[in-house]
A and B are shown apart, each in its own frame.
Chain A
Amino acid sequence: MALVWNEEQLMLREAAAGFLAEKASLAALRKLRDERSETGYDQEVWREMAEMGWAGIAIPEEFGGLDYGYAGLGIVLEQMGRNLSVSPLQATVLVAATAIALGGSEAQKQALLPAIASGELTLALALQEGAHHAPEKTALTATANAGGYSLSGKKVLVQDAHIADKLIVVARSAGKPGDAAGLSLFLVDASSVGVRTERVIMLDSRNGGNVLLDNVQVGAENLLGELDAGHDLLQQVLDIANIGLSAELLGLSLEAYERTLEYLKERRQFGELIGSFQGLQHRAAELFAELELAKSIVIRALQAIDANDPQLSMLASACKAKLCEVAVRATNESIQMHGGIGMTDEFDIGFFIKRARVAQQTYGDYNYHLDRYARLNNY
């Protein structure tokens, strides 16, 4: 497939850029933070996003979506990265809807996907338990009983935990922590008896959270995908999630870079524009090269999702690793090249490194994905 966006996709990009700059900009994020918003996002803006179809952008038409593919979702996510827009788009649409679309039964899809596409239903993936992304180390137990399963354990770093109507909980139904086999995914109402969610405001001012499950009873019909075979489903979901996060990292890296480039053209020291100094010029040019590379792997990986590319896992890890590397470099350079003003909260540039750090760490960072890339290439 040609590594370009078509006319329609370019129009979507433009529309998304315009909407987000007006309604979900960095200034809006700052306001949500400063006012300590209860929900952590603007519900009215999310309603408008859903009206435009974004909540169902990658969901098939038969389930009320636009069927516009993950390329479309990625295009929107890149623009959200540029604007540092906050919404349930990542947790609910990119991650949870993907899990349901890939692993759900017909009944589950019918019940949930249209509600997601319309923007009514929010979800969160409860996966991580320790400091690092390691799905096979899942210990939260799922014990079979007469009514289905009983879930007990604790999850951390659950994006949107406190606003989610439903949780997708990754649990150990067989084997022991460390085994890839024996994992199962369950759909759990956030209001179920025994579920406790705690909001954690993250360093990027977004919703993280912890989830405690204490003998939570789940009906057998709420098993998502096959019993004990959840690891494979999870890998597919996480491949897509990581590519989506990479698109967001691309957007925020480009924005931080372009703002910095402008600054190099207006800030004077020693009687000169600082952009005339070769010490800065070469660093800016090297970063430009890295960003061009980043653009290429993001478009390649997004197209690979929609094309069911057999190498998707390898591409997903390549994409996430590269984008983590580039985002670290772009956001660090953006602060360094701004000098002292880059360290102030009043100036916006510092917001980018904060979001970058959380997005990097979500579902595996540079180290994790570089190693996974090597593993998938058999070394």
Chain B
Amino acid sequence: MSDLDQFRQETREWLEANCPESMRTPETSDTDQYWGGRDPEMSHPDQKVWADRMGEKGWTTPEWPLEYGGGGLDKEQTKVLRQEMARIGARNPLHSFGISMLGPALLKYANDEQKQEHIPKIIRGEIRWCQGYSEPGAGSDLASLQTRAEDQGDHYLVNGSKVWTSYADKADWIFCLTRTDNSGTKHEGISFLLFDMASPGVSTRPVKLISGSSPFCETFFDDVQVPKSNLMGEAGKGWSIAKYLLTHEREMISGFGHSGAGKTLGQEALETLGTDSGGRLDDTVLRQRIAQLELDTLVFGCTMARVKDEAKAGQGLGAASSIFKYYGTELNKRRYELVMSVRGAQALAWEGDAYDNGKTPRAWLRTKANSIEGGTSEIQLNIIAKRVLGLPS
């Protein structure tokens, strides 16, 4: 038996023994997603059991280094783990911005003390993080941010506000872009601070969105004292960390809507609209639009696979990866426009159990944020034009 087969067998046995039956069912509501933290929200107590067991083994972050409590697995082993989890329908044990966004930046830019302090708690889901990036006056032009962090000797004094802070009202800590220096260009003088949301002077207010939910908050800082030791990287050099982290965020967002599970839109349309005398979907225009979308979805999937395969073959991270955020989010918006068309009147109800409490229109509206959050489509096109195509400024 090869090492990898051996690993597969051990993994299968461990998952069989440790993944609670209740965690082998699909997530159907928001609270079915477990985000951990000091005071975790749960729809079932097994969520914490499952996350704790996986966290203990480091398998919430299979490829992170062992020394900080990660799984220490290589790419092949991670693939096996994911396959074995999928085999039994195991849920993602821990949803986490600490894992998907902050972690990679911590590993690259933090000092050892900070790594020892924060990484294990992310892996075990003990601390829930939020992202302090956008401000009322700094959206696409993120580098013009004005939240001030004044050097007070042993600490920074933070004043200002952030907006679109996902789940700030539920987070324990924040990674936050602040301005420590105003004398240079706007990209200079930005510092990357980590601090406790329970610090005096921090307050949050959820923002209700067009989808009816409030995943985002406004976050206010009023004379918040942050110890100097919470500065990550060098003072004034936070912009490179910010950009590095954004690439991970974009990767995450471009993957939205590509579960690949369930019925295709074409199948669903056949059931809803029926067939014409030739046995084809009984709406020629919709048929064509669905075909265009499904075709582009297929081709986009091939592109993500190709980029992965090129990297594996040592042909470098292709320029194609720059299109993922832009194309993936636009595709997801197109998909939901068609989902609305296919479901027709059924998709127009906002409330009522018979209509799943407006799940479809709420999801449709949620997709509108995909091409805004993490850098708008227009910003992505600017980046491609300048950095990839080398077009002049």
Contacts and interface: CB of A to CB of B under 8 A. Distances in A.
Interface of A: 2-4, 261, 264-265, 273, 275-276, 278, 280-282, 284-286, 288-289, 292-297, 299-300, 318, 321-322, 370-371, 373-375, 377-379
B326 A297 contact: no
Contacts of B312: 2
A371 B288 CA distance: 7
Contacts of A300: 302, 306
A300 B326 CA distance: 22
Contacts of B287: 374, 379
Interface string B258-277: 00000010110110000000
B363 interface: no
B292 A285 contact: no
B309 A322 contact: no
B26 to A, nearest CB: 25
Q: Which 6 pairs across A and B sit closest by C-beta, in order of nearness? A: A281-B385, A379-B266, A285-B384, A296-B302, A3-B306, A374-B291
A322 B299 contact: yes
21 contacts: A2-B309, A3-B305, A3-B310, A4-B313, A275-B392, A276-B391, A280-B391, A281-B382, A281-B386, A284-B389, A288-B384, A289-B384, A292-B319, A296-B299, A296-B302, A318-B295, A374-B281, A375-B280, A377-B266, A378-B266, A379-B267
A2 B292 CA distance: 25
A293 B327 contact: yes
B392 A293 contact: no
A355 B119 CA distance: 57
Contact of A379 (B281, B313, B380): B281
A236 B3 CA distance: 42
Interface residues of B, number: 46
A296 B270 contact: no
A321 B385 contact: no
Nearest to A377: B266
B261 to A, nearest CB: 17
A289 B298 contact: no
A373 B294 CA distance: 9
B318 to A, nearest CB: 8
Contact of B392 (A3, A273, A318, A321): A273
A244 B197 CA distance: 59
B393 interface: yes
Interface in B218-269: 264, 266-267, 269
Contacts of A284: 385, 389, 391
Contact of A292 (B291, B295, B303, B309): B303
B315 A4 contact: yes
Q: Which of B281, B294, B296, B389 has the most chain A CB atoms closer than 10 A to its own CB? A: B389
B390 to A, nearest CB: 7
B315 A321 contact: no
Contacts of A289: 323, 326-327, 384
A280 B290 CA distance: 29
Contact of A318 (B299, B323, B389): B299
Contacts of B302: 3, 293, 296-297, 299-300
Contacts of B384: 285, 288-289
B372 interface: no
A295 B306 contact: yes
A193 B65 CA distance: 78
Contacts of A4: 306, 309-310, 313, 315
Contacts of A278: 382
B378 interface: yes
B320 interface: yes
A370 B310 contact: no
Contacts of A297: 298-299, 302
Given A2-B313, A284-B389, A296 B326 contact: no
Contacts of B80: none
Contacts of A374: 266, 280-281, 287-288, 290-291
B347 interface: no
B359 to A, nearest CB: 24
A98 to B, nearest CB: 23
Q: Which of A4, A273, A286, A294 has the most chain B CB atoms closer than 10 A to its own CB? A: A4
Contacts of B386: 281
Interface in B299-331: 299-300, 302-303, 305-306, 309-310, 312-313, 315, 318-320, 323, 326-327
B392 A276 contact: yes
A104 to B, nearest CB: 32
B306 A282 contact: no
Contacts of A264: 391
A285 B381 contact: yes
A184 B186 CA distance: 72
Contacts of A321: 295
A115 to B, nearest CB: 37
B388 interface: yes
Interface string B370-386: 00000000101110111
A330 to B, nearest CB: 14
